[in-house]
A and B are shown apart, each in its own frame.
Chain A
Amino acid sequence: MLKQTEGSRAVAEAVALCRPEVICAYPISPQTHIVEALGEQVKSGALVNCEFINVESEFAAMSVAIGASAAGARAYTATASQGLLFMAEAVFNAAGLGLPIVMTVANRAIGAPINIWNDHTDAMSQRDCGWIQLFAENNQEALDLHIQAFRLAEELSVPVMVCMDGFILTHAYERVDMPTQEQVDTYLPPYAPRQILDPAEPVSIGAMVGPEAFMEVRYLAHAKQMQAIELIPGYAEEFRGVFGRDSGGLIHTYRADDAETIVVALGSVLGTVKDTVDEMRERGISIGVLGIACFRPWPLLAVRAVLAGAKRVVVLEKSLAVGLGGIVSANVETSLAANTCELYAVIAGLGGRPITRASLHRVFGEAIAGKLAHLSFLDLDHTIVDRVLAREQQTRRSGPIAEAVLRDIAAVSGLRAKDQT
């Protein structure tokens, strides 16, 4: 059924259709609307046979989900940013124990400096924790991915993180096609756990594992993710059969078949990238798009196949490996193999900085002209950065950095600031 709704509420409705049995909620922007909507569904009786638990921290949220999942319940929670870091120990634990929890991450920057707006630093910080990570391009895909996530998680007994851009998606009202309960029931069978705490058949879960077996256990976690590479395209295919639309899969391509330049990105920025590419194509420029729908496991071969004919690859990414550069681009590099094309990492949109078509036109143009540095920062204000660095050279007690940047920005735009008061 088509409806106009907020991204968070759309996801909450989709999660409810998946018949979760335990939901743990702890507020953190911009995820909060999702669990609020689910809480309302449970409290009103719209979602039956489900415990909605208000916990005291994200660490508890993931831990309650671990207990619920180990006891055989379909468990769900949602978080973002600092919350994901606060639960990090339990995030690794859920993956290590092989518990098929599904969690929404409403992607948001990580402090300090504290910042509530969107980038991908939170999800990227957990990229190697053993969870499958799916990235939604729009609200329709966000809600669809949750239905696929439960299917995938429970088939493999691996937790799945559905990442959607905070505010840009979570708080955007868009038209979505909401599935029926019958469709979801057709696609998603009841949870049949591979391991369960059951007095009728006692097992020990979470025992100490020494050097004699640890490598094997870790390898099996990797093997599960490799199985996911095989399963995900089929699940997307099956999804189309039941729901009548394309969602999920490993990658999405757009005008990439013959493209000399391919832009790689994930999440909601793909919309802006596609618009930009359309405009550049109209000007006769050979450019296309590769969207990464599944970041973990990394779709090595699928990415390699798309990039095989490209002369240059521009990776537009909303996170920064401080001291290295791009995270996604480092992953893309593994897919290039013998391909000697130019690879550009463009760090963009950190802490919610808008990524505009104008800026994309400029940076893609620079890449095509061979004038782009291999690592660049989209729309970085070099004047401000230089002022701060210069002051640090002059003064030992130069003070807190973030505040200095804010002060300098205010000083540079002083006249405008005065006008506003």
Chain B
Amino acid sequence: MSYQPIKFYQTGTFTVGNRLLEPEDRSVQANMRRTNSLNSGHRACQGCGEALGARYAIDAAMSATDNQLIAVNATGCLEVFSTPYPETSWQIPWIHSLFGNTAAVATGIAAALKIKAIKGGNDRVRVIAQGGDGGTTDIGFGCLSGMFERNDDVLYICYDNEGYMNTGVQRSSATPPAARTATTMAVGEQPGNVFGQGKNLPLIAMAHGIPYVATATVADLHDLEAKVTRAMQIHGARYIHIFVPCPLGWGSASNDTIRLARLAKETGLFPVFEAEHGEVTAVSKIRRPLPVDDYLKLQRRFAHLFGARPRTDVIARIQAQADRNIRKYQLLQEAPQ
């Protein structure tokens, strides 16, 4: 039987054991009173980045709102794997309406809560909307933009796994260039997804001037929790874009989910930052710059770039995108004085 040795003391990140932190700095998940809002027993795949991200995000939001939270869910993996009725993993009030209307349903809930509060009801209840990248950057984009523009009191969380995984791994507008999906096949002269102009939802959210926008990955769950907590301290429209690797769709090992999320950030492909009212206020620096090859090679969706005839031209274009992010967001650590 094969085994993999695990080093408990060094994980290659800034990760620090909770026991070394002051109690108020420890993660929500480490707290005995964590709510398990997305409870165990759901049907997510092994190594699902979305399940991990959602568990941390919603528990953090619950903690920040003293458990006064309602969640709206777009159609998608998270919705399907969490509610195979009569079983539900949700320990909080939760509604799924459609694929493309999640932000609008959340607006309606926020409006109802506002009137209930005026009429003397519970004035502390908050609302979160959540969906995958398809439900956010594609079909739900109109409703999301409307919610931003009106500055409705909703935190929208996008779990971005870069494709329509629930329907069998098709391309979304969040699918990266060259990636193989069921609708961007790895055949022909330009295998995989096209090099489009991209659709950067965090930047589009910032262009609405909303009070808070952040990106995060499931490689830094402490950072993710902190951003959700911060978002819940603010009223108005807020947006958090969480990078969640998908072993099924990406053709990656289920034990590489965290590693891939970390590599996406460390290569510069996925900038991790915070913005308020349209201006970037904080950036997570790259600790150890790495070439995009390190990230791409772990995923079968990019395997056609590394075959017998490696597509160094395509890899160079992807590297150029990462380099552009590094310049634009100033992702590199400043040299020690």
Chain A interface residues (CB < 8 Å from chain B): 21-22, 24, 49-51, 53-57, 59-60, 62-73, 75, 89-90, 93, 97, 197-209, 213
CB distance from A87 to the nearest CB of B (A): 9
Q: Which residue of chain A has its CB nearest to the CB of B118?
A: A49
Q: Which residue of A lies closest to B80 (CB)?
A: A208
B98 and A89 contacting across the interface, CB-CB below 8 Å: yes
Q: B: which residues have CB within 8 A of A?
A: 67-70, 72-73, 79-80, 83-85, 88, 90-98, 100-101, 104-116, 118-119, 122, 125, 142-143, 145-146, 149-150
CA–CA, A93 to B112, complex, Å? Answer: 19
Q: A64-B105, A64-B107 are in contact. Are A56 and B149 (CB under 8 A)?
A: yes
Determine how close the nearest CB of chain B comes to the CB of A314; give it in whole angstroms: 41
Q: Is the CB–CB distance between B96 and A68 below 8 Å? A: no
| A89-B91 Cα distance, complex, nearest whole Å | 28
Compute the total of residue contacts between A and B using a CB distance below 8 Å: 159
* Nearest chain B residue, comparing its CB with the CB of A73: B112
Cβ of B70 and Cβ of A206 under 8 Å apart? Answer: no
Nearest CB in chain A: distance from B211 CB, A: 19
Q: Are B97 and A64 in contact (CB under 8 A)?
A: no
* A154–B94 alpha-carbon span in the complex (Å): 21
**Chain B minimum-CB-distance residue to A50:** B115
Q: B67 touching A56 by the CB < 8 A rule?
A: no
Chain B neighbourhood of A51, CB < 8 A: 111-112, 114-115
Known: A49-B115, A197-B70, A207-B83. A55 touches B109 (CB 8 A): no
Residue of A50, A69, A201, A207 near B96 (CB, 8 A) is A207
Q: How far is the CA of A206 from the CA of B80 in the complex (A)?
A: 10
A22-B112, A205-B94 known; A54-B119 Cβ under 8 A? no
The reply to whether A60 and B79 contact each other, CB–CB distance below 8 Å, is no
Q: Which residues of B contact A57 (CB under 8 A)?
A: 142-143, 146
- Residues A204 and B146 in contact in the complex (CB < 8 Å), given A66-B105, A75-B108: no
Query: What's the dominant secondary structure at chain A's contact region?
Result: mixed
- Report which of A65, A89, A204 forms a contact with B88, defined as CB distance below 8 A: A204
- Residues A209 and B85 in contact, CB atoms below 8 Å apart: yes
Complex Cα distance, B114 from A407, in Å, reads: 55
Known: A198-B93, A199-B67, A207-B85. A71 touches B146 (CB 8 A): no
| Chain B residues within an 8 Å CB radius of A209 | 85
Contact of B108 among A71, A198, A203 (CB under 8 A): A71
A158–B146 alpha-carbon span in the complex (Å): 27
**Structural contact, A202 and B111, CB atoms closer than 8 A:** no
What A residues does B118 contact at CB under 8 A?
49
Chain B nearest Cβ from A203, distance in angstroms: 6
Nearest-CB residue, chain A, relative to B105:
A67
Which chain B residues lie closer than 8 Å to A203 at the CB level?
A: 93-94
Interface centre among A22, A67, A69 (most CB of B within 10 A): A67
Within 8 Å by CB of A93, from B72, B88, B98, B149, lies B98
In the complex, are the beta carbons of A22 and B83 less than 8 A apart?
Answer: no
Give me 7 other A-B pairs in contact (C-beta within 8 A), A59-B104, A67-B105, A68-B109 excluded: A67-B104, A71-B108, A73-B111, A93-B101, A197-B94, A199-B93, A202-B90
CA–CA, A53 to B146, complex, Å? 11
Instruction: Please judge, given known A-B contacts A71-B112, A199-B93, whether A59 and B105 are in contact too, CB under 8 Å.
Output: no
Min CB gap A74→B, angstroms:
9
